[in-house]
Amino acid sequence: MIHPVEPTILHADLDAFYASVEQMLDPSLQGRPVLVGGGIVVAASYEARAYGVRAPMPTREALILCPRAVVVSGSFRRYLELSDDVMAIFEDATPVVEQISVDEAFLDVSGTTHLLGSPTQIARVLRARVRTELGLPLSIGIASTKFLAKIASARAKPDGLVVVESGREIEFLHPLPVEALWGVGRVTAARLHRLGVATVGELAESPLLARSLGVKTSATLRELAWNVDPRPVRGGRRAGSVGSQQALGRGLRDLAEMYTVIAGLADRVGRRMRAKGRSGSTATLRVRFPGPRVATRRRTLPAPTASTAAIGEVCRELLSRALEASAGDPVTLIGVSMSHLTTERAIQLELALDVGSATRAGSSADLRRRALDDSIDSVRERFGRDLVRLGASGSGDDDFRRLAERS
């Protein structure tokens, strides 16, 4: 039996993101209806939605529908931090990530299946990593177009996965209500219902659309009804930074082991930057402890660098500062990133008065380590990335992370 080739466009959407974050931050809210916002509901958990609560809705009205709901003001800084964490996980799967909001993104995994397997397998790993590392539910739709992948992810909620197989797109799409289409809001839906059009399939065959909706709108909706959406997934969402992170299971307490992890992460980040011909000025280290606690430390260097040694050295320094917030707890995740990127190739050399530090671009130590990076990159390019490994080898996630390094 010949199995069809799976489509390679993913739409990943965090479920009830703000409310899910609040439930993750405060375990006492798990399973309870949660409303995020002040006078207006910005987000509602699925437990609250079961009572008819929707955003945006006045909080007073929401509490009438769901009197037992817990109202929280919102942790917006944490939302942005966790959004970055999620996107970093996505970029460990593929460099082609197009973030379209704080809690959703399109991914094109066509260039990664030879390493990870099918798009379904990739999606399962993504969902497991987001759940395990960040404690958040993620729904994913897989289809041949961005439009259909987004519809599929909506059908996957909450916390599910829906694949629209190649060749079966119309079979999946046409029975859906017209409200599933982009651009069909309440007003347009009401007009279509007055025409007797209730499903996408009926819209696809209706000859009366242009008269009621206008030529442009009717043409757009008809194309979507036949799954015509030529837009590619546009990568480069995080063009301003390059990063990688590693979950550490139950956690590490030994400083030497953490240094080993940082060495591996610095190697990945430096290698990706060099492959893109880019350098970064600001190093950021993120350390997660059990529960929701995260410590983030940054340092801006005198000049941009893509040196593995420089990134590793500065992040080891940042680790000492981050551990001040540990309260003796183990470290469960370490993330390294470089930002304020540039494509400038010129290096201001230092006078050879001393060896200098690897973090000082142009010093003797830096130049030697850059030469070593170039040699290692050449060996890996010729004989494979596994021949030389720096730092912790990690787990099976290493193969997964390599996908981002292909950009």
**Which CATH number goes with the domain that contains 195?**
1.10.150.20
pLDDT of residue 210: 74
pLDDT of residue 47: 96
| Domain-located, residue 265 | yes
**Whether residue 354 is found in the same domain as residue 275:** yes
**Whether residue 277 is found in the same domain as residue 303:** yes
**Whether residue 178 is found in the same domain as residue 282:** no
Enumerate the H helices of 233-323 as residue ranges: 255-276, 308-322
Q: Of 6, 47, 98, 104, which one is the catalytic site residue?
A: 104
pLDDT of residue 356: 53
Secondary structure element (H or E) that encloses residue 243, with its range:
strand 241-252
Query: Two tokens at 137?
Result: 């539910």
**Whether residue 209 is found in the same domain as residue 310:** no
Name, in order, each residue with C-beta under 8 angstroms of 291's C-beta and a sequence gap of 6 or more.
Answer: none
Gap between the Cα atoms of 373 and 60, Å rounded: 60
| Domain-located, residue 4 | no
DSSP state of 219: H
Query: Two tokens at 251?
Result: 């956690």
- Which CATH number goes with the domain that contains 70? 3.40.1170.60
**Whether residue 377 is found in the same domain as residue 334:** yes
Ranges of beta strands (E only) in 289-401 are: 294-305, 331-342
Ranges of beta strands (E only) in 16-73 are: 34-37, 41-44, 70-72
Gap between the Cα atoms of 170 and 239, Å rounded: 36
Out of 42, 76, 110, pick the residue that ends a domain. 76
Query: Two tokens at 347?
Result: 């290096």
Out of 165, 190, 225, pick the residue that ends a domain. 225
**Whether residue 199 is found in the same domain as residue 315:** no
**Whether residue 210 is found in the same domain as residue 301:** no
**Whether residue 298 is found in the same domain as residue 257:** yes
Burial class (CB in 10 A: 0-12, 13-18, 19+), 129: buried
Known catalytic residue: 344? no
| Domain-located, residue 179 | yes
| Domain-located, residue 154 | no
Gap between the Cα atoms of 308 and 260, Å rounded: 13
| Domain-located, residue 249 | yes
| Domain-located, residue 2 | no
Check: CB of residue 199 under 8 Å from CB of residue 178: yes
Nearest in space to 279 (alpha carbons), one of 335, 356, 340, 365 = 340
Q: Please list the pLDDT of the chain residue by residue as tens digits (407 residues).
A: 444 578 999 999 999 999 999 999 999 999 999 999 878 898 999 999 999 998 888 999 999 999 999 999 888 778 888 888 898 889 889 989 998 888 999 999 999 898 899 999 999 999 999 999 899 999 999 999 999 999 999 999 999 999 999 999 999 999 999 999 887 878 888 888 988 899 999 999 887 777 777 788 888 888 999 999 999 998 865 556 788 888 787 789 999 999 999 998 998 888 888 877 888 888 999 998 876 678 889 998 888 888 888 899 999 999 999 998 777 889 988 999 988 888 755 444 444 444 455 555 555 565 565 566 666 566 555 555 444 456 554 433 343 333 333 33
**Whether residue 208 is found in the same domain as residue 181:** yes
**Whether residue 329 is found in the same domain as residue 200:** no
**Whether residue 59 is found in the same domain as residue 24:** yes
Peptide bond into 175 cis (omega under 30): no
Out of 49, 76, 103, pick the residue that ends a domain. 76
Q: Which 3 state secondary structure label does DSSP give 207?
A: coil
Cα dihedral 185, 188, 191, 195 sign: negative
Gap between the Cα atoms of 404 and 239, Å rounded: 13
pLDDT of residue 373: 60
- Which CATH number goes with the domain that contains 246? 3.30.1490.100
**Whether residue 269 is found in the same domain as residue 360:** yes
Peptide bond into 56 cis (omega under 30): yes
Q: Using DSSP, how many helices (H) and how many strands (E) does the chain show?
A: 16, 12
pLDDT of residue 240: 66
For residue 211, give Cα distances in angstroms to 41, 185, 221, 229, 390: 38, 18, 14, 23, 65
Check: CB of residue 267 under 8 Å from CB of residue 391: yes
One-letter amino acid of 129: R
Ranges of beta strands (E only) in 21-143 are: 34-37, 41-44, 70-72, 97-101, 104-108, 138-143
Residue 392 backbone phi and psi in degrees, to 5: -70, 140
Secondary structure element (H or E) that encloses residue 169, with its range:
helix 169-173
Name, in order, each residue with C-beta under 8 angstroms of 27's C-beta and a sequence gap of 6 or more.
Answer: none
| Domain-located, residue 65 | yes
User: How many separate domains does the chain show?
Assistant: 3
pLDDT of residue 407: 33
The alpha carbon torsion through 371, 372, 373, 379 (nearest 10 deg) reads 110
Domain range for 200 is: 174-225
| Domain-located, residue 314 | yes
pLDDT of residue 6: 87
